Structure 1
Amino acid sequence: MKKPLLIDLDGVLRIGKEPSPHVEKFFDLINTLQIPSCILSNSTLSTTNDVRQFFEFNGIQTKIPILTAVEAAAMYARLRYRRVAVYCTDHVKSLFRGLLDYENPQAIIIGDYGKRWDFETLNYIFRKVREGAELIAMHKKRTWKTAEDGILLDVGPFVVAIEYATKKEATIIGKPSELYFASALSLFNLELHDPFIMIGDDLETDIEPAKKLGAETIFFNSEKGFTQEAILKANPDYVVNNLEDVIKILKEKF
């Protein structure tokens, strides 16, 4: 079997609110070469259907499987809990329908909560976790970039604050968690340490954790501001600036 591709959505296939240049050509190549692939999204603002509709709205067809952190978190919750309190956008909170309980939750699940974070919310989560609720994070990224406001705090800093205050460690569902990589590889009937190729634009959530699992890595050098020193330290197998560069690499490899 060919090594599967795990492909980060934002920063690789989607730049801001637009498809990346050459993305259709990239999908065509994957289809032509029959490379097993999966699109990964750490964003908890969207469901799998939202991601697919984004491409379709822009006239791009793809049958590549899509795995989002929010759906992985909902699956994880349904297997383990009857009552959870969820902090994410209302759009994706519907995936937890039937489990929501803010009075006596067995777990607190944190996703992208935007600008609604405040002391009251953080203190509520702190109390519930201190009283025994488990802490689940859909991912633990430090920052994210928006067209409107530039770089903002992401979920990670709020999760770390609760961990520090409660002396309890969160279970991470999305990247860089091994749970997420294992879920993606299971789509190809592969185990966690089987060979794969990771294409991502974040050294901390894409490249470094994939390398720890023995994967080949293609670092998509976007506008996240990683220094040359950080890139050299992460030591990706390839550094590219656009999907056309990725296409050249894949043609050589496959």
Structure 2
Amino acid sequence: MIRGVVLDIAGVLHEGDHAVPGAVEALRKLERAGLPVRYLTNSTRNPKRKVVAKLAAMGFPVTPAEVLTPAEAACDWLRREGYAPHLLAHPDLEEDFADLPGGDRTAVVVGDAGPSFTYERMNAAFRELARGAPFLALAANRVFRDADGELLLDAGAFVRALEYSNGTEARLFGKPAPAFFHAAAQGMNCDPGEVVMIGDDAESDVAGALKAGLGAAFLVRTGKYRSGDEARFAPRPTAVVADVAEAVEVVLRRWG
């Protein structure tokens, strides 16, 4: 039985500055059905404040507690372990790390820095890693779809470059890290097997959710989806649907 729903955001609920048609009403159907929801994003170009505000402005029934971000998870780790961040991320994301204490113990934190992925900043991060700093990756996605409709390199390529150069594997905080999915399930008082994932990334969203033990995972044909994605990664999706509205209809019809 499905008792909770986890959704990716960009490409599933909105594309650029516009909600995917039918997405807002789909979320309101889940709300009326009493199914709790968590919004699970790998986006690391915007702080959580802006992610929540954008969804709310589009009409989605969202609260800050329902949105989980890799930066938030990484900040929890940094506080717990007593490290200050050496950020290689987009300047807009810096506010999510602003309240962390400083100190001599530094961990390298890599997100999608966009144009800030300069050689100088990459090399500065590499040198911190070479001195023994822990390596935290906020996400490792291959690509994402930009507002102009074209695909762009995501943080994964840069994470892999630093892993290769330093011989160190990054600790991943976003999808497909099982702990990220489990945190969403726990926040809804659900076992992972009672949760369904809806995403546009067959690797991080769908295969990642199923490997983490979620009960089902739907791949939508919006956002970064490309023809044949459903066959490229294992486990394969529970179902491939047109969009989030169809996914919600299937959830409510099959498990509601």
Question: Does TM-score exceed 0.5, indicating one fold?
Answer: yes
The CA distance in 1 between the partners of 2:237 and 2:251, in whole Å, is 15
Question: How many residue pairs were aligned?
Answer: 251
Change (3 A) 1:128 1:149: farther
Answer with 53-62 or 7-16: which moved more.
Answer: 53-62
Displacement, 1:50? 1.8
Aligned-partner SS, 1:174: coil
Give the match for residue 163 of structure 1.
163
Answer with 3-12 or 90-99: which moved more.
Answer: 90-99
Aligned-partner SS, 2:194: coil
Displacement, 1:223? 4.7
Q: TM-score, normalised by structure 2?
A: 0.89
Give the match for residue 132 of structure 2.
132
Give the match for residue 221 of structure 1.
221
The CA distance in 2 between the partners of 1:226 and 1:150, in whole Å, is 12
Give the match for residue 195 of structure 2.
196
Aligned-partner SS, 2:27: helix
Give the match for residue 174 of structure 1.
174
The CA distance in 1 between the partners of 2:168 and 2:83, in whole Å, is 21
Residues 48-63 of structure 1 mapped to structure 2, 5 A cutoff: 48-63=48-63
Does the CA-based 8 Å contact 2:14-2:20 persist in structure 1? yes
Aligned-partner SS, 2:128: helix
What one-letter code is carried by the residue in structure 2 that aligns with 1:241?
A: A
Give the match for residue 4 of structure 2.
4
Change (3 A) 1:99 1:22: same
Does the CA-based 8 Å contact 1:84-1:100 persist in structure 2? no
The CA distance in 2 between the partners of 1:43 and 1:100, in whole Å, is 24
Displacement, 1:247? 3.0
The CA distance in 1 between the partners of 2:163 and 2:174, in whole Å, is 17
What one-letter code is carried by the residue in structure 2 that aligns with 1:79?
A: R
Structure 2 residues without counterparts, runs of 5 or longer = none
Aligned-partner SS, 2:39: strand
Displacement, 1:219? 0.5
Structure 1 residues without counterparts, runs of 5 or longer = none
The CA distance in 2 between the partners of 1:139 and 1:77, in whole Å, is 16
What one-letter code is carried by the residue in structure 1 that aligns with 2:230?
A: I
Change (3 A) 1:39 1:124: same
Aligned-partner SS, 1:209: helix
Between the two structures, name the one with larger relative contact order (CA 8 Å, sep ≥ 6): 2
The percentage of counterpart residues that share the same residue type is 27
The CA distance in 2 between the partners of 1:225 and 1:55, in whole Å, is 21
Give the match for residue 74 of structure 1.
75
Change (3 A) 1:60 1:5: closer
Residues 79-158 of structure 1 mapped to structure 2, 5 A cutoff: 79-99=80-100, 104-148=104-148, 150-158=150-158
Displacement, 1:167? 0.8
Aligned-partner SS, 1:152: strand
Aligned-partner SS, 1:112: coil
What one-letter code is carried by the residue in structure 1 that aligns with 2:70?
A: A
Aligned-partner SS, 1:72: helix
The CA distance in 2 between the partners of 1:195 and 1:225, in whole Å, is 25
Displacement, 1:57? 2.2
